[in-house]
Amino acid sequence: MNFKSIKAKIMVLILCIAILPTAIVSIYMGTKVYVDKVKEVYWV
């Protein structure tokens, strides 16, 4: 196990932790907008 691979794994982990909430929020918002549009189309 060399130091570079450990450092790279830590960087990837930090990146994933940083990106994950943003990804979840964007997926949630996208789904919410899509559901609202579908409701408008089918419920009116």
Task: Give the pLDDT of residue 42.
Answer: 83
Q: How many CB atoms lie within 10 A of CB 37?
A: 10
| pLDDT at residue 2 is higher than 90 | no
Task: Give the pLDDT of residue 11.
Answer: 94
Task: Give the pLDDT of residue 3.
Answer: 75
Task: Give the pLDDT of residue 12.
Answer: 94
**Helices and strands per DSSP (H, E), number in the chain:** 1, 0
pLDDT digits (tens, 9 = 90+) for 9-43: 999 999 999 999 999 999 999 999 999 999 888 87
Confidence of residue 1 (pLDDT cuts 50, 70, 90): low
